[in-house]
Amino acid sequence: MAKSVNIFVLNWNGRDLTLDCLASLEKITYSNANVIVIDNGSTDDSVVSIKEKYPKTDIIEFPTNLRFAGGNNAGFQSTANKANYTIFLNNDTIVDSNFVEPLINELEIKSNTKQTAPKIYYADKPETIWFAGGKVNLWTGFIRHIGIRKKDSHDYSKNREIDYATGCCVCMRTENFESIGMFDESFPMYAEDVDLSLRFKKRGGDIVFIPESKVWHKVSASMGGQFSISKWKRKHKGKMKLVAKHSEPYQIPFSLPLAMMVSIIEFIYSVLIKFQFMIMSKK
């Protein structure tokens, strides 16, 4: 019998997105998977709708929004039946029917692999990459997705070690997630996934991109369509905390100012792109 896996889907007022995600999860081919919805205090009748359409799906309800790290940690800890493997999956995703097997196979074969991450596409442009691995530079605070907004190609079709796995979809051995201390809940909604991977890497673990596993993410492929000031602020806070936490002491006098500078440049660039996007959309 295949080893067990719990797939956690975090929801907060995302009823329709979560229902679509669950519809795709119903079609997965892995024989020993259990889907668990974690609801972060939704007020949009998400729980009622999920129970009506997917009565066999486990739902863990919290009265308030615990955010990404807190919600996933609390849901994971509240699950009575821990599985051999744990997958955290965004609710705004659609999965390929066999996305589970390649993620687990790598962990089965290589004991030093601590996290596996799928190839993730934009849902509105199904052949365009959203995530084909992650890169981190702690000197500058530069965090980026490999291949983002690029057309899928052979360049993004090989297993390889990466700096971090995105929290959009990540697979781990349950015992490894527990022993590392789970997600750091002090992060302000961004960079907690990067932090988790860096903690694994500090212990000598590998983070591996698995392109055979495929997921589609419902975010806009347009840069202008994605930007907001509040989102930038949360990302900036997360990035600064990440740099301060993981930089060596001798790096910090240089890395924090550089990270600040990079964030400001990214902000200005994003504002310009947003402005251009608004002009083009009116034509």
What pLDDT score does 224 carry? 43
Query: Residue 8 corresponds to which tokens in the numbers above?
Result: 């956690």
pLDDT in tens, 57-96: 999 999 999 999 999 999 999 998 999 999 999 999 999 9
pTM as predicted: 0.91
| CA atoms within 13 Å, Cβ hemisphere of 161 | 10
What pLDDT score does 269 carry? 66
Q: Which of 221, 241, 266 is the last residue of a domain?
A: 221
What pLDDT score does 84 carry? 98
Q: Which domain holds residue 119?
A: 5-221
Cβ neighbours for 178, distance < 8 A, ≥ 6 positions apart: none
- One domain, residues 113 and 213: yes
- One domain, residues 203 and 232: no
Q: What is the DSSP string of 82-109?
A: --SEEEEEETTEEE-TTSHHHHHHHHHH
Q: Which of 221, 237, 261 is the last residue of a domain?
A: 221
- One domain, residues 94 and 230: no
- Taking Cα atoms as reference points, which of 90, 257, 85, 259 lies closest to residue 176? 85
Instruction: State the residue for tokens 């609801």.
Output: 39
- One domain, residues 107 and 161: yes
> Low-confidence residues of the chain, pLDDT below 50?
223-224
Residue 30 · residue 8 · CB < 8 Å: no
| Number of domains within the chain | 2
What pLDDT score does 268 carry? 74
What pLDDT score does 107 carry? 98
What pLDDT score does 120 carry? 98
Q: How do beta strands 33-40 and 5-11 pair?
A: parallel
What pLDDT score does 240 carry? 87
Q: What is the largest CA-CA distance in the chain?
A: 58
Query: Residue 46 corresponds to which tokens in the numbers above?
Result: 């998400």
pLDDT in tens, 228-253: 667 767 777 888 899 899 988 888 78
* Residue at 32: amino acid letter: N
End-to-end Cα separation, the chain, in angstroms: 58
Q: What are residue 87's phi and psi, to 5 degrees?
A: -120, 130
Query: Residue 282 corresponds to which tokens in the numbers above?
Result: 């009116």
What pLDDT score does 86 carry? 98
What pLDDT score does 258 carry? 78
- One domain, residues 46 and 152: yes
Determine the number of helices (DSSP H) and then strands (DSSP E) in the chain. 9, 12
Q: Which of 168, 196, 221 is the last residue of a domain?
A: 221
Residue 113 is part of a domain; what is its CATH number? 3.90.550.10
